Amino acid sequence: MDWLNYHHFLYFYVVAREGSISAASEILRLAPSTISVQIKTLEETLDQQLFERVGRNLVLTEQGRTAYSYAEEIFSLGQEMMDTFRSRPTGRPTRLNVGVADVLWKDIAYQLIEPATQLENGVRLACREGTHDELLGALALHQVDVVLADAPIGPTVSIKAFNHQLGQCGVVIMASPGFVAKHGSEFPENLASAPFLMPTEKTALRRHLDQWFESEEAKPNIVAEFDDSALMIQFGANGMGAFPVPSIVAEDVATRYDVIELGRAERVQQSFFAITVDRKIKHPGVQAICTAAKQQIFH
């Protein structure tokens, strides 16, 4: 019978979890060269390549992701056994690492994530914000359990991951009360040449809005572009221009910032996605996010 060297497997697990040999060496208190040799030995034992180097980063191969899923279960069970023998409660809070795309509306991100905090045994939540590509890299390294984004992973991306559409909503155009006094109330004609605040071009919403304005022949005067939706709203509320808001948060935005709805961008739908490395979602926190999104938020 072939036996797995669990020391080697632990070194692999820590490197995969931390994302680099140098970070793992600090935790394990071993020289990086020692860890590298032991992982190489593990790969020879399994006859599988577990990591590949992409630039300066180590990225799990498909076989490495499989090994990592086993490692998570093995070492989690080991910790549970230690807790049992030490008379600790085994119902520990679930750890949930969420990657939030920097272009995602924070109010919507909160609505999506909040149901996961209601798990029976509690949750230890860690939210990480970054660009779409940065977070997909973290997902591949198992540094996050799920990425919440406004666009699915594209077919040209080399990372093996799966899109889970959470839902869609419409888009409302809003402005300060003084906007109507200056530009009229006839929508969308009152947007023509009027000052308008836009998301940046890297967002899916921006692309949809550009197409909508083209079809309506009511092209506004784009005076500012924003990555941060909250900052865009703040400028809009202070009269800099009209701005788009997802319909599911429009009522709250109107109340909080004292702005009004000018009209709805018909045919514009904003989509939201949970991206995971699993085709079938297993993590209870991610399950809670997906279930609540479909049954409560976007129903």
CATH code (residue 275) = 3.40.190.290
189: containing domain: 93-299
Exposure b/e, 235-247, CB count within 10 A at least 16 = b: ebbeebbbbbbbb
Output the pLDDT for position 31: 92
Do residues 178 and 239 share a domain?
yes
Contacts of 197 (CB under 8 A, 6+ apart): 222, 223, 224, 225, 226, 232, 235, 236, 240, 241, 242, 243
Q: Phi first, then psi: give them for residue 94, nearest 5 degrees.
A: -75, 135
> For every one of its 299 residues, what pLDDT tens digit does the chain have, with 9 covering 90 and above?
568 888 899 999 999 988 889 888 898 888 999 999 999 999 999 999 999 988 777 889 999 999 998 888 888 777 767 765 664 455 667 889 999 999 899 999 999 999 999 988 888 899 999 988 899 888 888 889 999 999 898 777 777 889 999 999 999 999 999 998 899 889 999 999 999 999 998 888 999 999 999 888 888 999 999 988 999 999 999 999 999 999 999 999 999 999 999 999 988 999 999 999 888 888 899 999 999 999 999 87
Work out how many domains the chain is built from and give that number.
2
CATH code (residue 51) = 1.10.10.10
Do residues 204 and 116 share a domain?
yes
Cβ–Cβ < 8 Å for 50, 39? yes
Output the pLDDT for position 292: 93
Do residues 97 and 75 share a domain?
no
- pTM, entire model: 0.67
What length does the chain have?
299
Cβ–Cβ < 8 Å for 111, 297? yes
Instruction: Classify residue 232: in a domain, yes or no.
Output: yes
d(CA 44, CA 150): 41
Domain-ending residue, one of 85, 114, 140: 85
Domain-ending residue, one of 85, 120, 139: 85
d(CA 203, CA 103): 7
Instruction: Classify residue 204: in a domain, yes or no.
Output: yes
d(CA 176, CA 251): 14
Q: 269: helix, coil or strand?
A: strand
Cβ–Cβ < 8 Å for 99, 135? yes
Domain-ending residue, one of 23, 55, 85: 85
Can the peptide bond before residue 188 be classed as cis, meaning omega within 30 degrees of 0? yes
Do residues 104 and 197 share a domain?
yes
Do residues 114 and 45 share a domain?
no
Do residues 76 and 141 share a domain?
no
d(CA 140, CA 17): 10
Do residues 118 and 70 share a domain?
no
Q: How many alpha carbons fall within 13 Å on the CB side of residue 100?
A: 20
Instruction: Classify residue 1: in a domain, yes or no.
Output: no
- CB-count exposure of residue 162 (10 Å: 0-12, 13-18, 19+): middle
d(CA 290, CA 295): 9
Do residues 97 and 241 share a domain?
yes
Instruction: Classify residue 35: in a domain, yes or no.
Output: yes
Structural tokens at position 146: 């799920």
Residue of 283, 287, 279, 277 whose CA lies nearest to 65? 277
Do residues 195 and 277 share a domain?
yes
Do residues 157 and 70 share a domain?
no
Do residues 21 and 113 share a domain?
no
Do residues 187 and 274 share a domain?
yes
